[in-house]
Structures are given as C-alpha cells and as structure tokens.
Amino acid sequence: MLQDTNKRLQEYNTSLQQYNSNLQADVTKNGETITKLQKEKNTMVETMNGLKDHANSVKMQLDLAKSSQNEALKQKNELLKEVDNLRSELQQVREDRDHKLVEVHSLLAEIGTYKEMTGKSAVELDNVMTRSTALEEICSAQQERIKLLEVQLASTNEKLKRSDLTTIESMTEYEKQKRMSEDLQLRLEEAEQQIIDGEKLRKKLHNTILELKGNIRVFCRVRPLLSNESGAISYPKSGENLGHGIELTHNAQMYAFTFDKVFDQLASQEDVFIEISQLVQSALDGYKVCIFAYGQTGSGKTYTMMGKPEIHDQKGLIPRSLEQIFQTSQTLVSQGWKYNMQASMLEIYNETIRDLLANNRTSIQDGGISKYSIKHDTNGNTHVSDLTIVDVSSFNEVSSLLKRAAQSRSVGRTQMNEESSRSHCVFTLRIFGVNEGTDQQVEGVLNLIDLAGSERLNKSGATGDRLKETQAINKSLSCLSDVIFSIAKKDEHVPFRNSKLTYLLQPCLGGDSKTLMFVNLSPEVSSTGESICSLRFAARVNSCEIGIPRRQTQIRSLSQG
C-alpha cells in the first residue's frame, strides 16, 4: 500500500512539474509580447505626429494588451496559490507516510516477539509432554504402591485391634502422670511462695547487716599518684586494720586512721562499687539511701561519683548504681514487682539552688532570693519546690539526663585543679514499687552527692568570683562539720538550717536514712595538710549514731488495688 501511495505521489509531482513548465513558457511568451509592444509604442511615439490618424487604433491595441497582461497576472497568482496548497498536501502525505512507517516497525517488532513466544511455547510444550510421560509412569508405580498399602492396611487393622488394649493401659498410666503433674504444680507454687518469703527474709537480713555496720558508714579512697608527685600515704600490711586502715605522714609525724573500708590507689571503679552495691539495693527495698563524696579539689570525688560513663571500666558510682537499680527492678518483675522512678538533679552554688535539668537555668528572682525552697514532710522525705522532676524507665534515659546536667554544672579553675567543681551536686532518684501479688508498696530514695572541693583559701589561690565561691563552699562544708559534731555529741539542737547543703541533707544525717560518705584523698606530699583535715572530719562522721533507718512500705487497700 505504501509503494502504491509513493507511486501516485511521484506521478502527481511529475504532472505538477509539467504544469509549472507550461506556466513558465506562458510567462516568457507574455514577456516577449510586452517587449514587442513597448518597441512598437516607442516607434509610434516617434512617428506620432505623422501617424495621428492611427493613434486611436494603436491606443485600442495597447489597452487590449494591458487587459491580457492583467489576466495573465491573475492566472499566475491563482497558480501560485494552487502550488502552495499542493505543497501543504504533499507535507501531510509525508507525515502520514512517516506515521505509517512507525506503525510498520512496531508491527515488525510484535511479529518478532510473537515468533520468540512461539519458539518458547514449543519448548514448553515439549517439556510438558516429557513431564506428562513421567507422571504417567509415577501414577502406574503409585497404583502398585496402593495395592501394596491395602494389604498392609489390612494387617495394620489387626494390629490396631491389639493396640486398643494397650491404649487402655496407657490411659491408666496417663492418669497417674496427670496426678503427679498436679502434685508437682502444687509443689512449684509452694516453692515460688518460699522464694517470695526468702526475698523478704533477704531484705530483712540485708538491712540488719547494714545496720550492724553502722548507719553512717565511711569509706576512704586514695587517688593514684601522678608521674610528678611523691606520696605520703601508706597502709597496714597485716592485722585487723588490713583493708580498713590508712597512715599519713605529715611534718615527720605519722597519723593513723581506720574506717569501714579503705581503697588504695590500685582500687578500680568496680572494686569500689561492689562494696556499696548492697546499699544501693536498699533503695529498691524501700529505704532512703544517701552516698556522698567529700575531699579537697583534685582528690578524685567527681571521678568516684561519676567517672567516665562512656568508658565501661571507668564508670563511677552514679552510673553503676543506676544500672543496678534498673537491672534488678527488671528481675523482680517475675516476683510481681513493678517500679516507677523519678529523677532530679540540682547544684548548690554560692548558697543558691540551681536546677540542672531545667531548660532555663536562671534560679535567682528579684532581690537575689532563690526561687527554690527546701521542705521536709512528716515521713522524712525532702522536697524542693519548682524543681524539675523527670519520669524515667531505663538507664539510657537517666544517662542522657546526667549528660545534660554535667553541661550545666558550675566549674572553674583554681590552683588545685584546672577544672574544679564549684558547687555541690545532688542527684536524686525516687523509687515507687508495687507488688501485684502481695499488694505491698515501697518507696525508696537514692541520693548521690558530689560535694565541692574543700581547701583553705591560701591553698586554692582563689581571687574575685573564685574567692566568693571558695568562701561559700567552705562555709557550707563548715556547717556540715558543725552538724556532724552536734550529732556526735548528741546535742539537743543540731544546726541543720545554717546552710542549704545541711538542710537538704537533714533526713540523711539526722533521720532514718542509710548514709555512706566517701572521703577522697590526694596522696601527694603537698596535700597532707588538707588530707589530715579530711581524715579527721571523716573519723568524726564515722563515730556518729543516727536514727534507725525505716523502710517505707504499706499494704494497698482493695480500692487502691
């Protein structure tokens, strides 16, 4: 069809070319006529005076020639229009031809695809025929197998009749086993109850052990010597003070002290935590627990309490205690316990309380008065008004809070340390536990406190704002010393309100809390004066007797359940 169309187009083009040639011949002929007439006109003009008689005749001929010329021009224009139309038709025909060619190529591609499919179908048909033959063979084999199985079935039916008798005997045995299983279930329930009773006994014995060790216990820890330092501390090599004694040489005189536990320079973070892990457990059991670090700047208080949480071996007491709290609370779920926990963190800087978890750290109102006030309820619980309290359910959540608080804590440079903590930092975790099986409730509190460095003004080299900070730190630590001395002497009045620190710690020092103090020491010779002051203070703390710790527990009523 395309070839016929092309042939017709070629013939049409040939006729157009002939028609154009005729038009061009007519135009040439008319041009020659015009030229001839012009010559005649010129001749007539030259001879007009002598040929006036012929003027009218010539004029008529001239008008006739002009009319012929106009008609020729009109015909030319019409022919040009017709040529344009033919060109448009030719263009349309070409476009139709291109479109048809595309369709032809598409059809050829489809034909190729169909050929490939036909080839594949033939191969598949051969495969199907092969599989059909194989299946027929399998079917024949299975028919033979069925006949064989029918014979075996008949034999099996006979065996089944014989096995019915055996089944009756098995049912009897099953009943016996069932009764034994029920008996074991009862024994299991009794064992679970014994476990619960044992856990209660463990808590009671655990508390008794801690009370026998003393309500305010004191641990001493000595940081390692640096490469450019010389030591002035030694330890008993044997005897009853082994692991409990420490000896300090100052001005050629030996001073000896004993505490509940002494950690030398080689003690690891894990060694220290193992000794306090039972105390941390008491917080889950419903007791108030307070652990705080005391000592001069650079003696390792912050390392003991916080350490480097990102390095496993160097984690301090705070991250390790929190890990234990959350891990143990998960293991107690099997015994019916569910726990909710709340965390807060504050610092006391220049006798001003600052909320380390608040988005806006401004803690001073007009007039220079802190907006945070300390209150103690009848149960000995401490509350700080407007303090940010965050619900936490995992160690990772608390870890992020500790990082946030560390970035907000007040630090400064002194002669004792490049980056010294210039405030007392208090982390508090409140623990609320409920046992769904026994309807028992407990409420424990874990206070972990990193005190600011204690050193004399001439030792710290503080000036300006650092001087004010040091004076405020020493005043609060001096108030802490006064409180400890008053408790040791069993004074009727204990000056807890003399500083924010002592008032905040009142339930821990004079109430029913289990309290542990770390006294941190620097072993170098130049620090022996500060070390003796710290050791004497720690010895006085170790001699204090406070109230017996009370476990905060109650049985839920039916309405609460």
Q: Residue 480 to residues 44, 153, 295, 299, 502: CA-CA distances in angstroms?
A: 146, 94, 13, 19, 6
- The rounded distance, in Å, linking the Cα atoms of 221 and 521 is 6
Is 368 known as a binding-site position? Answer: no
Is 234 known as a binding-site position? Answer: no
Residue found under tokens 């048809």: 100
Q: Residue 334 to residues 45, 331, 341, 556: CA-CA distances in angstroms?
A: 137, 6, 18, 19
Question: Which residues 6+ apart lie within 8 Å of 500 measured at CB?
Answer: 348, 351, 352, 353, 374, 476
The encoded tokens of residue 488 equal: 């040791």
Is 296 known as a binding-site position? Answer: yes
- The rounded distance, in Å, linking the Cα atoms of 425 and 461 is 23
The alpha carbons of the chain give a radius of gyration, in whole angstroms, of 55
The DSSP letter of residue 226 is: P
Is 513 known as a binding-site position? Answer: no
Is 295 known as a binding-site position? Answer: yes
Is 302 known as a binding-site position? Answer: yes
Residue 470, burial from CB neighbour count under 10 angstroms (0-12, 13-18, 19+): buried
Q: Is residue 363 within 8 Å of residue 357, measured between CB atoms?
A: no
Distance between start and end Cα atoms, the chain: 94
Is 3 known as a binding-site position? Answer: no
Question: 269-284 and 317-331 are packed helices; what angle lies between their axes, rounded to 10 degrees?
Answer: 50
Is 298 known as a binding-site position? Answer: yes
The encoded tokens of residue 138 equal: 């399998």
Binding site as annotated, residues:
295-302
Binding site as annotated, residues for ATP:
295-302
